[in-house]
Amino acid sequence: MSPKLTYPLPWGSRTFIMGILNITPDSFSGDGLIQQVDVVKAALARAQNFVQAGADILDIGGESTRPGSTSVTAQEEIKRVLPVIRAIRDSGLDVILSIDTYKAEVAHEALEAGVDWVNDVWALRADPDMASVVSRHKAPVILMHNRSKPDNAFLDKRLGGIHLGARYENLIEDIKSELLASVSLAHQAGIRSDHIILDSGIGFGKSVEDNLELLNRQNELCSLGYPILLGPSRKSFIGYTLDAEPQKRLEGTAAAIAIGIARGVDIIRVHDVEVMVKIARMADAIVRRQNPGR
């Protein structure tokens, strides 16, 4: 097993793989671990499998962000994720850990417990204390674009939720502008530019057509000069495009990942790590001329 990566990662050398650990009962993808008899044991086993398959980063979340999901308190979120974080750290597993939260209190506790990064789906805008927590811990932060509103979501029991009400004057330019506003919040709190990663927020406050266009134009986000994370895995825009429920979106996710890598993204956030590592290695061999056996 190769040693744990340290920040900053060697951006541009290859695509980095973030595996998703949902410590929730209501994940849209059906992979939430709360329903397991021994949640910590199940999460640790999945973490070990992901790392063995080639994951560089594990993203641990204790609250679902799917359209129509039920919010939980910071204390409940902490109760869900901290035992998993500690178990992974105590296991000696060499992997970067990320906490998927928009709550400053959760981020603080997770960072104290050994998490390396913060993944904020509201890009420092949901909790006024988040930026200062990230800054104090000198942690890298993922800032994700998000225009989600509950009243703009349409839910289909089989295909999931899509957003119908968000309106963009210019999809890419609006997303870039709003992400840069969050970058300014980060800078004001003392977060360094080289600790910032951007995520265009596929599936968050965007229609199916918006998501398809955004995916195909990831290179325009790359021009902002920050590493770019792409997270299309199993999402509803794939389901509506292919008429497929979450567990049947592997091929659609693979296509989205391959296009994203061709457009220059740096990190892919995925559920199906083993398969998507192979997709990434093949795409890297084509686009970055990397040895796929490396």
> Which residue reads 């870039």 in tokens?
176
Per-residue pLDDT at 1 exceeds 50: no
Residue in the structure block whose two tokens are 């709003």: 178
Q: What is the pLDDT of residue 25?
A: 83
**Residue 92 phi, psi (nearest 5):** 80, 10
DSSP 3-state assignment of 20?
strand
> What are the φ and ψ backbone dihedral angles of 291, each rounded to 5 degrees?
-65, 115
Confidence (pLDDT) at 160? 72
pLDDT band at residue 61, thresholds of 50, 70 and 90? very high
Q: What confidence score (pLDDT) does residue 294 get? A: 42
- pLDDT tens for residues 153-190? 566 777 777 666 678 999 999 999 999 999 999 999 99
* 239 neighbors 277 (Cβ within 8 angstroms): no
Which ranges in 93-217 belong to alpha helices (H)? 104-112, 130-137, 171-188, 208-216
**What's the CA gap between 290 and 294, in Å, rounded?**
8
- Give pLDDT tens digits for 126-153: 999 999 999 999 999 999 999 987 655 5
**257 phi and psi angles, rounded to 5 deg:** -65, -45
Q: So where are the chain's domains?
A: 16-284
Dihedral in degrees, nearest 10, Cα atoms 78, 83, 85, 89:
150
**Domain range 16-284, its CATH number among 3.20.20.20, 2.40.50.140, 1.10.10.10, 3.40.50.1820:** 3.20.20.20
Range 55-71 average pLDDT? 85
State what percent of residues in the chain have pLDDT above 90.
81
The overall average pLDDT reported for the chain is 91
Band (35; pLDDT cuts 50, 70, 90): low
E strand or H helix at 52, and its extent?
helix 39-53
Cis before 25? omega within 30: no
Cα–Cα distance between 288 and 291 in angstroms, integer? 9
Mean pLDDT of 15-29: 84
Looking up tokens 């309106």 gives: 167
Asked if residue 290 has pLDDT above 80, the reply is: no
Q: What is the pLDDT of residue 126?
A: 97
> Which are the catalytic amino acids?
235, 269
Tell me the pLDDT tens digit for each residue of 64-105. Answer: 876 666 789 999 999 999 999 999 999 999 999 999 999 999
Q: Are 242 and 213 a contacting pair, CB within 8 Å?
A: no
pLDDT at residue 45 greater than cutoff 70? yes
